[in-house]
Structure 1
Amino acid sequence: MFNNKQEKNQMAQDVTSSSNTVGKGTVINGDLETFGNIRIDGKVIGNIKTKSKLVLGATSHIDGNVLAQNAEIEGEVKGVVEITELLVLKPSAVLHGDIITNKLIVESGATFNGACKMGVATKSIKIGEEASNGQATSKLKEAKPV
């Protein structure tokens, strides 16, 4: 009934509209990869990669690198933050590491220690199978947390 291309497009649309949450008090030791939006209020020891929006709540603590399309940070991050579109650092944000982004908003009270590179060319975010076949060459693998 449907051709393969239509099914793939529908599946991709469904996946990117999904939402994920890591609650307060939760600790994840390992890398997170998702096509959809993700909100983290807990602790992640590892890298985070999403093709959509990442929201780090006030109680979040990330010990690893971040790669996302858009992000709002209220918690603490120790690592490189690479955002292809817009990064917003909220007043309670504490970031120890470099920022690579196209656009940056730093609200009064946010703390940032590291280098910042803005207006960089947009790169594609590779997730799952795409990354495993050797196509993805991410700066996140090269960079080390501060």
Structure 2
Amino acid sequence: MFKKNSPNPNPEASKEQSRIAAGTLITGDIEAKGGFRIEGTIKGNVTTSGKVVISKGGYIEGNLTCHNADFEGKFKGKLVVQDTLTLRSTAVIEGEVVSGKLSVEPGATFNATCEMKGNIKTLSKDGQKQKERSA
């Protein structure tokens, strides 16, 4: 009947979300604890411990560092996502990507180098320890 409050997987992130509307151009760096919904253009670096959503008309040129990202728009630069990067069918990514998990829908354009930062598990087989990487 009552639902337990599940712990926040990212306690540093604020529940607040900022919106950059279509037609808006921001030149410079942005730092925040909350999430972003970007429908306009940012030329600069964005750093947040929250989630970033880039809609179809959204564009970032620079570096983006965040916890999760969901792309429908365009990105050019270095993208560092601690957990999950989701690329929708309209997404266009160019540059360098470092992510924990990657989800790509058919139709997305992904012209980037990619490094996955999945968990490393130690397995024991016949008395020998082996490392297995999982994403």
TM-score (structure 1 length as normaliser) = 0.71
Q: Is the 8 A contact 1:100 1:120 kept in 2?
A: no
SS in 1 for 2:22: coil
User: For residue 111 of structure 1, what is the aligned residue in structure 2?
Assistant: 109
Q: 1:101 aligns with which of 99, 102, 107?
A: 99
Deviations 1:60-90 (A, max 9, x none): 1111011000000111101011000000011
Deviations 1:87-119 (A, max 9, x none): 001100001111100100011100011211012
CA positional deviation for 1:19 = 1.1
Name the structure where strand makes up a greater proportion of residues: 2
Q: Is the 8 A contact 2:37 2:55 kept in 1?
A: yes
Alignment partners' CA distance in 1, 2:93 and 2:31: 21
CA positional deviation for 1:120 = 5.0
User: For residue 75 of structure 2, what is the aligned residue in structure 1?
Assistant: 77
CA positional deviation for 1:39 = 0.4
User: For residue 50 of structure 2, what is the aligned residue in structure 1?
Assistant: 52
Q: Which runs of 5+ in 2 are unaligned?
A: 1-10, 120-135
Q: Which has the larger radius of gyration?
A: 2
Alignment partners' CA distance in 2, 1:81 and 1:120: 16
User: For residue 26 of structure 1, what is the aligned residue in structure 2?
Assistant: 24
Q: Is the 8 A contact 2:101 2:118 kept in 1?
A: no
Alignment partners' CA distance in 1, 2:117 and 2:63: 19
CA positional deviation for 1:33 = 1.0
Aligned-partner residue type, residue 99 of structure 1: V
Aligned length: 109
User: For residue 35 of structure 1, what is the aligned residue in structure 2?
Assistant: 33
* Greater RCO structure (CA 8 Å; 6+ sep): 1
**Runs of 4 or more above 4 Å deviation:** none
